[in-house]
Amino acid sequence: MAAKPKVPVKLVSWDEIVEWSRGLASRIEESGWKPDVIVAVARGGYVPARLLCDFLDVTDLLSVQSQHWVEAARMAEKAILKFPYKLDLSDLKVLLVDDIVDTGDTLILAKDFIAREWTPKDLKIAALQWISPVAKIKPDYYYIEVKEWIWFQYPWTRLEDTMQFITRIFREDERVKGKIIREDELKSVFKEWYGIEPESLGFYWDMALEKLAAKGVLERVEGGFKAVKV
């Protein structure tokens, strides 16, 4: 039996995002509540928020940048709110949208900020997915409850995540650290770490290696790659 990946990853397709967003919109409609304004949690909430605007017939879309993840599947010590600004939404119902509720720290921070600084008439939270065993907050609306933690790799961060996944291997795997590794060997280690075939990433795999080499993180050498700075 194959070993479980260190960081289990699920590649999410664009079609799934549309399907999940439509399902989420239906649940909001069924509740009888309709927002006047939708607020995306940057950056993961942008696409779901825009789709919800379409499905719920909401024109006004805002955003706040609240973040906790410093890289794919690796959290910062605490969530932070970047670029805060002041608004008056006192007569409006607001829906705060993110892609997923994992710890919930980013949403809690964003929700508290909006409630305090924007003073909406009503404020609710929606997410495509809710990881119930680890989340500190349950969204008012969600489409999928996730009962075992997994890293959902959304299509809008495919390149960024792949670069960070590869970098982490060079930084942490003793079989790779300080050594030259052939691409076929790297692909094998990648599958072991993340449970997905590099070929399933399409052009993102080659692009990730090119970007890492261009940034000086990896160096192409005869026979493969070696880390320069990770």
**At 125, which helix (H) or strand (E)?**
strand 122-131
Coil, strand or helix at 214: helix
Alpha carbon distances (Å) from 32 to 26, 29, 144, 192, 228: 10, 5, 20, 46, 56
Residue 169 confidence class, pLDDT cut points 50, 70, 90: very high
CATH 3.30.450.20 corresponds to the domain 9-152: no
Residues of the chain with CATH 3.40.50.2020: 9-152
Residues of the chain with CATH 1.10.10: 156-227
Best CA proximity match to 101, nearest among 63, 141, 158, 61: 141
Q: What is the pTM of this model?
A: 0.88
Summarised one tens digit per residue, pLDDT across range 151-164 is 999 999 999 999 99
Note the pLDDT of residue 2.
55
Best CA proximity match to 10, nearest among 208, 149, 215: 149
CATH node for 156-227: 1.10.10
Summarised one tens digit per residue, pLDDT across range 118-127 is 999 999 999 9
